[in-house]
Amino acid sequence: MSNRLGSALAAEVRGVARATGRAAKSAGPERDTAVQALKAAAAALAAWALAGWWWHAPMALLAPWTAVVLVQSTVYRSLWSAAQQFVVVATGTLIAAAAATLTHDVMAAMAIALPITVLLGTYSRFGEQGWYAPTAALFVLTYGSYGPVEILHRLLETLLGAVVGVLVNALVLPPVHTGGVRQLRARVPTDCADLLRDAADGIESGYDSAAAEDWYARAQRLGATVAELESARRRAEESRRLNPGRRLRRSAPHPPASGGEFRWERVAGHLASLTRSLAETVRERPRFAAPPETALGALAVLLRAAGDVCAVDADRFGPAEADEERAVRAWDEAQEASRRLASHHTDPDGGPLTASLGELTVAATRLLDDLEAVAAPPDATART
């Protein structure tokens, strides 16, 4: 047990060291995280300097406490969270003050205020800020200060911290998250190309159940990568909303144009259907007989050519210029292989052979339908 714990701790330390090194060497998510952490600390210090050192507010803690949590990942989120938190804290404070005034007993006031504020904290419109309602109520009741002047001070100090947190996030290196979209947009077609080429090689050399199941698992993971791309794009778009520094950040180029995620989501689904059909023909008790070797040969050519199309699309988001002629040649080759694959449906025996071949042909045809736009040279101003 101690050896495993030591190994786990050592691995964790190495991971932290690598992340620290990446943050120091180049831009990326690690550096973004470090910058936001330092900004949050600076916001807390500034809020304390104003509320505690300059204003001598009776509850100066509330200002830095609010400021530090409002340095969010985007300026828009900081503004929205600030509005949420102020409403939540004000509501929790007023509920606690009313309960204390009514009961004149801390325990009785908690019994009234906490159930209400905890339920209020679960209201979806308040998001993560909702749980500050019971926290604010506890501050009021445990400190025993719930007169009108004390309540006004709490609200003003919370408002001060919110303003400081939002201003620091908006004016000091305002976060713009576009690099992740470009990286994921290149990763999706790259992973598709790798899977298609591996499947083509496996079909030509003779694949087994383990290989086909691995292809199927990789196709399913492609769907998760596409979902990650969609999430990154939403985050990038949000980071540009209400961001005063979006035109000043030279290191934050515009993300690739949206729209292609839906196509790649369908491509991932077609690959999952195709690889599942391949796996079913080589199981210990296959549902369908395997297609003839000539059909599998045509399928291998089709998949490899489709992989080349995907690889060219990935190059469009890399440092090197994409070979558009290669994409056109690969597309023509895939179309020819698709016609050869479809010609095997004239087999007179039908039965299980036609069933397995039919599943593969349908999945391959749908795959090419969605890759047609990818194979065409993109417009110079918008790439999906």
114 Cβ neighbours under 8 A, 6+ residues apart: 134, 137, 138
Query: What is the band of 242 on the pLDDT scale with cuts at 50, 70, 90?
Result: confident
Q: Is the pLDDT of residue 108 over 60?
A: yes
pTM of the model: 0.73
Query: What is the band of 330 on the pLDDT scale with cuts at 50, 70, 90?
Result: very high
Query: What is the band of 91 on the pLDDT scale with cuts at 50, 70, 90?
Result: very high
CA-angle at 277, arms to 267 and 263, nearest 5° = 5
Closest by CA to 59, choosing from 122, 179, 144, is 144
Burial of 34 (0-12, 13-18, 19+ CB in 10 A): middle
Q: Give the whole-number percent of the chain exceeding pLDDT 70.
A: 86
Closest by CA to 191, choosing from 158, 223, 150, is 223
Of these ranges, 8-17, 79-88, 342-351, the one predicted with the greatest mean pLDDT is: 79-88
Torsional sign, CA 296, 302, 305, 311: negative
Helices (H), the chain: 2-25, 29-48, 62-69, 75-103, 106-121, 132-143, 148-171, 179-205, 209-240, 260-280, 293-315, 324-342, 351-375
Q: Is the pLDDT of residue 80 over 90?
A: yes
pLDDT digits (tens, 9 = 90+) for 274-311: 999 998 888 777 766 778 888 899 999 999 999 999 99
pLDDT digits (tens, 9 = 90+) for 120-164: 999 989 988 999 999 999 989 988 878 888 899 999 999 999 999
Gap between the Cα atoms of 59 and 48, Å rounded:
10
State mean pLDDT over 338-360. Answer: 71
Torsional sign, CA 8, 11, 15, 20: positive
Lowest-confidence pick of 2-16, 44-58, 141-155, 159-173 = 2-16
Q: What is the pLDDT of residue 73?
A: 84
The letter for the amino acid at 14 is R
